[in-house]
């Protein structure tokens, strides 16, 4: 077994757990699977990131039970199956984890495909929007571009590039404008980081999508775009795979945002009181600033014209191109204000 016994035991949850507990388990144990067992200790099924995302899109929240998202026909193997056969099963079934169960259907181990040490090489381009002035972060950005501000001893931009490199991305395009020469001087051609870095130089600020209109030549395949001030543990490769699997023209990573009303709400019909709701919680999906796009998505942009990503998505919808949401639950921080920068350095 690749993982220690302690790891797969930590990945086990009872069948009456909640979506929130499953998300916390996925984040903390970091083996991309939750093993769900019943009171008798038998394996009921498994839960993956994909199962959680589908549940969130179907209206579930953090307090919902996991029952409806359990994958109950999970592939399992006996303890004595040869390692080579386990690997063949993984490839044939396109899975990265297979629980090991005994004759009583009790979990006794877990086979993992160690994706981190052997990431699939991705020829897909990754574009990072790094041209903003960062006015909300002044005075930090008066003489320094926001993407170069340090987080845990490294520029935000470097964290993004290194994380994407771990997932097989090797070609990056940095869209720069404000103090862009400082970014070029720091990163150069990417050789120091073991990647290739090119630059897209905006003459005027073009927004979070407008710089893409300057691409020449166009990318040959789907590509990832991220804001240069978003610190996140999102798996860029999984976002790209999700986008391709759903045959989308544009995919937006979204986060569930919860806001609790500070007061009790009175429901009325005219002057009649018909109900009460004590400090209700509103839930919505917010734009996480990370996207996957097809080259065809750029056809709705005008060269050199300011455009933000939501407008790009609206234009694609108006011409009936498919746009989808990728619900994410990974840690995420939009470093837009001084308090955010402080928070990023204390995580």
Domain ranges, ordered by start, for the chain = 5-112, 126-344
Q: How would you classify the pairing of strands 230-232 and 332-334?
A: antiparallel
* pLDDT at res. 279: 80
* pLDDT at res. 140: 52
* pLDDT at res. 314: 96
Exposure class string for 216-244: b at 16+ Cβ within 10 A, else e: eeebeebbbbbbbbbbbebbbbbbbebbe
pLDDT band with cut points at 50, 70 and 90 for residue 1: very low
146 is catalytic: no
* pLDDT at res. 79: 83
**Topology (CATH) of 126-344:** Spore Coat Polysaccharide Biosynthesis Protein SpsA; Chain A (3.90.550)
Q: pLDDT tens across 286-297, in order?
A: 889 999 999 999
Task: Please list the residues that pair with 290 across neighbouring strands.
Answer: 226
What is the C-alpha to C-alpha distance for residues 12 and 33, in angstroms, rounded to an integer?
Answer: 9
Read off the tokens for 80: 């004595």
CA separation, residue 146 to residues 34, 123, 156, 230 (Å): 38, 28, 8, 11
pLDDT band with cut points at 50, 70 and 90 for residue 332: low
| Range of weakest confidence among 61-70, 111-120, 164-173, 320-329 | 111-120
Q: Are 107 and 100 contacting, i.e. CB atoms less than 8 angstroms apart?
A: yes
* pLDDT at res. 2: 40
Task: Pick left, alpha or beta for residue 179 (phi over 0 → left; psi -120 to 50 → alpha; otherwise beta).
Answer: left
Catalytic residue among 32, 133, 165, 279: 279
Read off the tokens for 259: 């806001």
Read off the tokens for 290: 């990370």
**In this structure, is the dihedral angle defined by the CA atoms of residues 3, 72, 236 and 136, taken in order, positive or negative?**
negative
What is the C-alpha to C-alpha distance for residues 324 and 248, in angstroms, rounded to an integer?
Answer: 6
Omega of the bond prior to 139 within 30 degrees of 0, cis? yes
Read off the tokens for 243: 């986008």
Q: pLDDT tens across 233-276, in order?
A: 888 988 998 899 899 999 999 987 777 777 888 888 887 778 88
The per-residue pLDDT of the chain, averaged, comes to 84
Beta-strand ranges (E) seen in the chain are: 12-14, 34-37, 43-47, 97-101, 107-112, 126-129, 150-151, 154-155, 171-176, 196-201, 223-227, 230-232, 250-260, 265-269, 272-277, 281-293, 323-328, 332-334
- pTM score: 0.66
What is the C-alpha to C-alpha distance for residues 35 and 174, in angstroms, rounded to an integer?
Answer: 40
**Topology (CATH) of 5-112:** CBS-domain (3.10.580)
On the question of pLDDT at 225 being above 90, the answer is yes
DSSP letter string, 274-318 = EEEESS-EEEEEEEEEEEEE-GGGGGG--TT----HHHHHHHHHH
On the question of pLDDT at 184 being above 60, the answer is yes
* pLDDT at res. 116: 37
* pLDDT at res. 127: 96
């Amino acid at each position: 077994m690749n993982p220690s016994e302690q790891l797969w035991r930590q990945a086990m949850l009872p069948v009456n757990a909640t979506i929130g507990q499953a998300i916390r388990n996925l984040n903390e144990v970091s083996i991309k699977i939750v093993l769900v067992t019943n009171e008798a200790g038998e394996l009921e099924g498994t839960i993956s990131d994909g199962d959680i995302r589908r549940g969130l899109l179907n209206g579930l929240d953090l307090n919902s039970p996991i029952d409806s998202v359990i994958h109950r026909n999970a592939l399992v193997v006996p303890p004595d199956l040869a390692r080579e056969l386990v690997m063949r099963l993984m490839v044939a079934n396109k899975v990265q984890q297979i629980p090991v169960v005994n004759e009583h259907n009790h979990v006794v181990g877990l086979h993992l495909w160690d994706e981190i040490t052997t990431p699939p090489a991705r020829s897909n381009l990754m574009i990072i929007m790094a041209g903003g002035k960062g006015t909300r972060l002044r005075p930090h950005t008066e003489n320094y571009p926001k993407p170069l501000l340090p987080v845990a001893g490294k520029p935000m931009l470097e964290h993004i590039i290194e994380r994407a490199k771990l997932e097989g991305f090797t070609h990056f395009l940095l869209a720069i404008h404000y103090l862009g020469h400082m970014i070029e001087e720091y990163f150069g051609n990417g050789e120091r980081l073991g990647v290739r870095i090119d630059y897209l130089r905006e003459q005027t600020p073009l927004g979070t999508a407008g710089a893409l209109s300057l691409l020449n030549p166009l990318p040959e395949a789907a590509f990832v775009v991220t804001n240069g001030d978003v610190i996140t543990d999102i798996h860029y490769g999984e976002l790209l795979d999700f986008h391709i699997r759903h045959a989308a023209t544009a995919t937006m990573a979204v986060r569930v945002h919860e806001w609790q009303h500070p007061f009790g709400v009175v429901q009325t019909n005219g002057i009649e009181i018909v109900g009460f709701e004590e400090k209700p919680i509103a839930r919505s999906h917010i734009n996480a600033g990370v996207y996957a796009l097809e080259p065809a998505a750029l056809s709705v942009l005008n060269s050199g014209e300011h455009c933000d990503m939501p407008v790009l998505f609206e234009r694609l919808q108006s011409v009936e191109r498919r746009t989808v949401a990728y619900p994410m639950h990974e840690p995420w921080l939009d470093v837009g204000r001084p308090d955010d920068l402080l928070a990023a350095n204390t995580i």
